[in-house]
Structure 1
Amino acid sequence: MRMSMNGISSMATRQVLNDLACAYETKSGERIAIESTGGVAAFKRIEEGEAFDIVVLAADAIDRLAASSRIDAASRVRVARSGVAIAVAKGAPRPSVDDEAAVREAVLAARTIGYSTGPSGVYLTRLFERWGIAERIAPRIVQAQPGVAVGTLIARGEVELGFQQMSEMIGVEGIDVLGMLPPEIQALTVFEGAICANARAPQLARAFLAFLASPDAGDAKVRHGMEPC
């Protein structure tokens, strides 16, 4: 009898999980369904007890779900890590982003600056505060709604300079990715998966998580702008 399991994740891992779910289905014959939404919304749904077999979120969110016993903490696996990329509209002038000073100048010069409600957005808020420019650029900040890619806002002309996980920039039409944040200010987010406390197919969930963490999943992670952990 064919088994099935479901999961929920943030948008940052949507594409890689879709690919890996398809690969696992082909390999095992089991059905894997992963719903991707804004990370804040995904976390809330697990906290409120909605039934899923697995959840894949940033490690700090998984920490909080473990603390509230919404996941099996012993089942946690590292799925991938992702850095923050910078993008502008396709064909637009390309400011230098080679080092910290250049990125700061690009931010100050931009008419609008976009970031997400996820880990990269939290990090950028702190970075702008550390640079002492948060109040100065506050009227120009456009924060993407949960589940909406910053790249989409760039392509629409709503954001001039945008920041988000590279995994969410890849494949977005109408943008040019300038590159990653330079190493001195880069922030790598680790994404983890775990079995939910109310999982209906825990054995299949455990097997799929093992596949996500295995070397067999590495090429898909790189293809979608992430790194194996």
Structure 2
Amino acid sequence: MNTLHRRALLRLSLLAGLALAQVGAWAAEIRVVTSGAFTEAYKQLIPIYEQATGHTVISSFGASIGNAPDSIPSRFARGEVFDLVILSEGGLEALVKAGQVQPGSRVDLARSKIGAAVRKGTPKPDISTVEALKKTLLDAKSVAYSASASGTYLSTELFPKLGVAERLKETGKRILSERVGAVVARGDAELGFQQVSELIYFKELDFIGTLPDEVQQTIFFSVGLVKDSKQAELATHLARFLASAAVAEIVRATGLEPAAVKR
């Protein structure tokens, strides 16, 4: 375990002691579903939490929005049972309005930006300015983007704004139920756009940068307590840990900006 993990574990141990004094010292199961952008941070933080508390976290994964079979909205529609849900701010607010997440329970975890990548060893196009990005999109033979929050922004707002929507009708690939990076890595798309935290872990890719600031969309990824959760106190405690300044360095290392740290 590295220094960052040791520090987080020590801080969590102190927090856990306070929580367990209230809810009892027995081990329990907490069910969580998380969207892709927070997945890498989540996979590092959950083992720390389990080690410190003795609780078990049962994890599921899916896109923040959309109707893919494993998307978070589809999972809720099927009646899958969770205690916590982690997804984009827009997706979370939709679940609150639908009566599936407890109002007022939202806790912001991290801010995420959209980036782009190509297969390792292939030419790296320029996306450093708005004009360069437009040219790259027009020139690309195939462009993959997610069916979740980032892809929705690209297809419904950015592409029309840049005047490339007609071209992307021919070359765009909306990706369901897998990461855009996987599609680009196996050569099924020349260029891929997704949250930075979902691209940087593919060794087969070259990350080429984020969208220019003028057209960037920074999305909060947040956690909310599922309505009628049977482990509400423990789930709230886990949410506090995921949002705490103690784990900020781990979150940042996965390509996200921790919400606990002021800009």
Normalising by structure 1, what TM-score?
A: 0.95
Write out aligned runs for 1:189-228 (5 A).
189-228=219-258
- Matched residue, 2:11: none
Matched, 1:143 2:174: yes
Of 99, 116, 119, the residue aligned with 2:129 is 99
Greater relative contact order structure (CA < 8 Å, 6+ sep): 1
How far the C-alpha of 1:39 sits from its partner, in A, is 2.5
Structure 1 unaligned blocks of 5 or more: none
Structure 2 residue matching 1:74: 3-state secondary structure: coil
Q: Secondary structure at the match of 1:163?
A: strand
Alignment root-mean-square deviation, CA: 1.3
Say whether the 8 Å CA contact 2:112–2:195 is kept in structure 1: yes
**What secondary structure, in the 3-state scheme, does the structure 2 residue paired with 1:194 have?**
strand
- Which amino acid in 2 is paired with 1:16? A
Offset of 1:47 from its aligned partner?
A: 4.3
* Residue 16, structure 1, aligned to residue 47, structure 2: no
Distance in 2, matches of 1:39 and 1:63, equals 11
2:27–2:55 CA contact under 8 A, matched in 1: yes
Question: Matched residues in 2 for 1:46 and 1:181: separation?
Answer: 32
2 CA distance for matches of 1:140 and 1:196? Answer: 39
> How does 1:55-94 map onto structure 2 within 5 Å?
55-94=85-124
Q: Does 1:37 align with 2:54?
A: no
Corresponding residue for residue 111 of structure 1: 141
Q: Spell out, residue by residue over 1:34-87, the C-alpha distance to the aligned partner (whole angstroms, 9 max, x if none).
A: 211232321232244321010011111111111122111122100111100111
Say whether 1:173 aligns with 2:198: no
Cα distance in 1, alignment partners of residues 224 and 168 from structure 2: 38
**Preserved contact between residue 51 and residue 198 of structure 1 (Cα < 8 Å):** no
1:2 corresponds, among 7, 23, 27, to 27
Larger of the two Rg values belongs to structure: 2
How many positions carry a matched residue from both structures?
A: 228
AA in 2 matched with 1:120: S
Please, what TM-score do these two structures have when normalized by structure 2?
Answer: 0.83
How far has the Cα of 1:26 moved from its partner? 2.0
Query: Residue 186 of structure 1 aligns with which residue?
Result: 216
